[in-house]
Structure 1
Amino acid sequence: MADIHVEEFYKDAAVALVQLYSAFPRRVNLFVEDIAGPDEPDEFGLHSKRHMACFGALLWLAEEGFLRYVDTIRQEALDQAVLTQEAFVRLSSPAPDVLVQALRGPESPLETPLPPSLQEDMSSHIHLVRTALKSRHSLRIGHAVRATLFADKQGD
């Protein structure tokens, strides 16, 4: 079992990427509370560790070239965030068949063949990330996000 902060990172990254992909190519404000849930700063105005971990995940995605933003809104949001070209292409591209089958799981076999265009769409990285999020299964979310973020690194 992975450390809980790593599982939360995968979930935060997945939610952020799905939000940005859904808005692409528009720039949007990416609010931490929309991703990690509500947070009540303490008496000193400091956010919880969970809130700050999510904010850190967003900044990491930017530092690693998955998104761009104009500025931060305190530690509440990224202002005018958008996917980078590399992230958009990666999310739109087909995932390896082995990964598609593994993340689809035995409970949802495809009994009838789908049209090629739909089959391609359902094998994209973004579809796998969305499906994993809907499952609320942390291992599936982790696999989908790792496959998306580190697609170029696999097989090294």
Structure 2
Amino acid sequence: MADIHIDDFYRDCALALLRLYNFFPRKCTLYVDDIISPEHPDEFGIPTQRHLACFGCMIWLAEEGYARYEDTIRHDALDQIVLTQTSFIKLSGLLPAQLCQPIPPHQQENPPLPPSVAEQHATLAQQLRHAINHQQALMVKHLLRYFFNKELPPPHS
């Protein structure tokens, strides 16, 4: 039996983290509808299971220390949410070469890309964007497992 809900969880986490990364360091309101396509509640006003799963993912990210928020808006959004320092460092950090998707040949230049562009391509945030844009669910899962497990390097003195 396929664990589709786990694949959805990884995708929801990736999209939520990237949305917050795009707003960083500003606080924002993160709506479930920003992550999944809008789903209408049933005739009693109860949100769908998919909607609740996405909302649960957002709450989980905050409870695990990947984001901070001030309040919820029903089951629809987290208000005044921002990435934690740890998440920002992880998303903007460089990945090991084996986790990076190569730069497609049509985007490579001769001479090679400037070091700053090549470095930006190797960040976790950029690799997550690439995996989502190319619908690579397995790559999203691998990148987020790395994100959730990665030890931070000791601070430089």
Q: How high is the TM-score relative to the length of structure 2?
A: 0.88
Residue type matched to 1:22 in 2?
N
2:113 maps to what in 1? Answer: 114
SS of aligned partner of 1:5: helix
Work out whether 1:25 is the aligned partner of 2:25: yes
Residue 79 of structure 1 aligns to a residue in which SS? strand
Change (3 A) 1:89 1:43: same
Percent of aligned pairs with the same amino acid = 47
Instruction: For 2:138 and 2:109, locate their aligned partners in 1 and report how far apart those are by CA, in whole Å.
Output: 25
Give the counterpart letter for 2:104 in structure 1.
S
Distance 2:143 2:55 in 1: 21
Aligned pairs (5 A) from 1:1-156: 3-100=3-100, 104=101, 108=104, 112=110, 113-152=112-151
Using the TM superposition, name which of 136-145 and 72-81 deviates more. 136-145
Distance 2:39 2:7 in 1: 19
Aligned-pair Cα RMSD in Å: 1.9
Aligned equivalents of 2:104, 2:142: Cα separation in 1? 17
SS at match of 2:82: strand
Which SS does the other structure have where 1:17 is aligned? Answer: helix
**Greater Cα radius of gyration, structure 1 or 2:** 2
Gaps of 5+ in 2: 153-157
Structure 1, unaligned runs of 5 or more: none
Aligned length: 149
- Letter of the structure 1 residue corresponding to residue 136 of structure 2: H
| 1:95-126 deviation line (CA, Å, top 9, x unaligned) | 111111xxx16x93557532211111110010
2: CA distance, partners of 1:132 / 1:57: 19
CA deviations on 1:42-99 (whole Å, 9 max, x unpaired) are: 1221111100000010011001111000000010000011000000011011011111
SS of the residue 1:30 aligns to: strand
CA 1:111 to 1:147, structure 2 compared with 1: closer, same or farther past 3 Å?
farther
Q: 3-state SS of the aligned residue for 2:45?
A: coil
Q: In structure 2, give the amino acid aligned to 1:120.
A: E
